[in-house]
Structure 1
Amino acid sequence: MASTSERFDTAGPEGDTTLAAITHLLALFTWVVGPLVVYVVSDDAFVKENARNAINWQIWLTVYSLLALALVFLFIGFLILPVLSLLDTVFVVIAAVKASEGEAWSYPLTIDLL
């Protein structure tokens, strides 16, 4: 899937972009739980969009990780798992930076479920 970005008007409070960026970083430590809490609690459309993107990525990362885990028996999974870990970190940092700039970045390799 091609990554897309949606631009939001960030004329509102500065905390909106900050919370959106924190939502992505929170996913590194809490998987889907942190972004889901932000998604449910927040009333801001920009924050919700970023939380939704973070949740979708974490779900797909889990799917990819389970597939790689199944491929461990063919020894290719040992190569894929570290790459997925690195991709997770890189994608989350990119998404957090984009969110702090007022963009809702859609993660590559992700189909929207939420």
Structure 2
Amino acid sequence: MDDYRPWNMETNTFLMLLHLSQLAWIVIPGAGFVVPIIMWATTKDRSTEIDKHGKMIFNWMLSLLIYSIISTILIIVGIGILGLIGLALINVIFIIIGAIRANDGIFWHYPLSIRFFK
């Protein structure tokens, strides 16, 4: 792990908050995409560990956007509401697991994530 202390906190704590920042959409719609990107963008050049987690989170967010569009189309045709509810639950569960693992110093890929960035 790098010696860099992002935002003046331990790296594992920062990584946990980076994962949890995706839940900002509960308070402000759209913030779940903006907050993690800001956190990652302001620190990624100083830490390879943060850059690695940030890319993985960004991959998950883009994947989730694609899945949401597909679910919305399925809702329009009348068969996707349960899929959308399931996707929302999976998102929250994956974020919490990712945050716990990051706090323990473990890198964990979000299942179902499409790898746009490596």
Q: TM-score normalized by structure 2?
A: 0.80
Which structure is higher in RCO with an 8 Å CA cutoff and minimum separation 6? 1
Is 1:60 aligned to 2:63, yes or no? yes
Q: Deviations over 1:6-56 (max 9, x none)?
A: xxx478766100000100110121222222112211112212211211111
RMSD: 1.8
How many angstroms does 1:80 deviate by?
0.5
Residue of structure 1 equivalent to 2:114 = 111
After TM superposition, the structure 1 stretch with the greater mean CA deviation from structure 2, 11-20 or 104-113, is 11-20
Deviation larger for 9-18 or 22-31: 9-18
Q: Which residue pairs with 1:35 in the alignment?
A: 36
More strand, by proportion: 1
The 10-residue stretch of structure 1 (69-78 or 81-90) with the greater mean CA deviation from structure 2: 69-78
State how far apart, in whole Å, the 1-side matches of 2:108 and 2:80 are: 28
1:17–1:101 contact (8 Å) kept in structure 2: yes
Aligned equivalents of 1:78, 1:111: Cα separation in 2: 22
Secondary structure of residue in 1 paired with 2:11 = helix
* SS of alignment partner, residue 111 of structure 1: coil
Q: Counterpart of 1:45?
A: 48
User: Which amino acid in structure 1 is aligned with residue 35 of structure 2?
Assistant: G
Q: Is the 8 A contact 1:32 1:59 kept in 2?
A: no
Structure 1 stretches lacking a partner, 5+ long: 1-8
The one-letter code of the counterpart of 1:22 is L
5+ residue gaps in structure 2?
25-30
Offset of residue 76 of structure 1: 1.9
